[in-house]
Amino acid sequence: MNVQLSNTTGATSALLNAGKFTNKGLEFDLKLTPLVKLGEAEIDFKINYANQDSKITGLIDGVNELGIGNFNYAVVGSPAFVFKTNDYYRDSATGKVIVDPITGMPTQNSNLTQFGRTLPRHILGLNLSIKWKGFTLGAVAEYRSGNQIIADQLGNFLDDNGISVRSGSYGRRAFIFPNSVYLDNGKYVNNTSVYTQNYGRVFYNNDLNTDVTSNYLADGSFWKLRELTLIYDFPASIFKGKGIKGASIGFTGRNLFMWLPKSNQWTDPEFTANGNNSYTGNAVGRSTAFNQPPTRFLGANVTLNF
């Protein structure tokens, strides 16, 4: 952290270690080779799991929280790091958004609200191999969870142009703000009848929507089929006397499938904090409108052994 110093010290600023962390982790690795063996068929299975946790135990004197950019905050007693973003006023008892009993419109909270961690807590890897008569089928899958992502810039653009799932959810008509309550005779009651005064582009292009970053906060969990391969090893006997010891042909696909939670209608959770200067540093978990889309790789190869 860059801290200003008195000129009498002979320097104008200094870099200080801004915080103290405790990190805990658990790793588990299991290999079943073979898992099953029936005649010429053999199945191998490997699984690895990692649980990562970190906590901020202290910051520089007099500071309880520190923003490091892109809605990432270091907060004493919380994981490293957490999101703090704009949100609506909510009922503290239920967490539901408070709306006006006449207009049905929410109000942006003047203070930032703390949300979840930016880094995954759980990482699970699965590796499967099936061999049969020269054929080998391999698959690698991965699961990550326990974190959130923010896609505010991308979400803003999509909402503004009316092409996001959110903007079309209610047929561009007035709607009851989801999970909302309003004050009635001193008590908050569930909103089942008060429709929003604004709707369509008037609502989704309004600062009351686009400036509330929590609208673009999503579960960062995912399942991915990282790799799928199919290889065939030709019998060595067919090359006898031809100067070739062996040959194989293979097909490979990477990043073939991805499964996301319903709340993430925006992007691949791994495509965050790209190379823009404003998105570099220690901050993670924020996706921009300039991210390149995830790429899928398909390939084939032929191998000859002499």
- Report the C-alpha gap between 129 and 49 in whole angstroms: 18
How high is the pLDDT of residue 8?
Answer: 79
Q: Which of 7-11, 126-130, 274-278 has the highest average model confidence (pLDDT)? A: 126-130
- Cβ atoms of 51 and 25 closer than 8 Å: yes
The pLDDT of residue 101: 97
**282 vs 138: which has the higher pLDDT:** 138
Would the pLDDT of 71 be above 50?
Answer: yes
**Amino acid (one-letter) located at 15:** L
Q: How far is CA 248 from CA 112, 131, 144, 229, in A?
A: 59, 14, 34, 13
If 0-12 CB within 10 Å is exposed, 13-18 middle and 19+ buried, where does residue 6 land?
exposed
Give tens-digit pLDDT for 116-150. Answer: 999 999 999 999 999 999 999 999 999 999 999 99
Closest CA to 301 of 245, 228, 250: 250
Residue 57 neighbours by CB under 8 Å, 6+ apart:
20, 21, 22, 76, 77
**Cβ contact 205:186 at 8 Å:** no
pLDDT mean across residues, the chain: 89
* Structure tokens given for 260: 């996301």
Q: Write the pLDDT tens digit of every residue in 47-60.
A: 999 999 999 999 88
Among left, alpha and beta (phi > 0; psi -120 to 50; other), residue 251 is beta
Residues, the chain, total? 306
CA distances 152 to 32, 35, 164, 192, 219, Å, are 43, 45, 12, 28, 14
- Which H or E element spans position 156? helix 152-160
Rounded CA separation 268/144 (Å) = 12
pLDDT digits (tens, 9 = 90+) for 221-258: 999 999 999 999 999 888 887 888 889 999 999 999 99
The pTM score is 0.83
- DSSP letters of 19-63? EEEEEEEEEEEEEEEEEEEETTEEEEEEEEEEEEEEEEEEESTT-
Instruction: Name the percent of the chain in helix, strand, coil, to the closest 5.
Output: 10, 45, 45
- Beta-carbon contacts of 158 under 8 Å, excluding residues fewer than 6 positions away, are 164, 166, 167
Cβ atoms of residues 117 and 145 within 8 Å: no
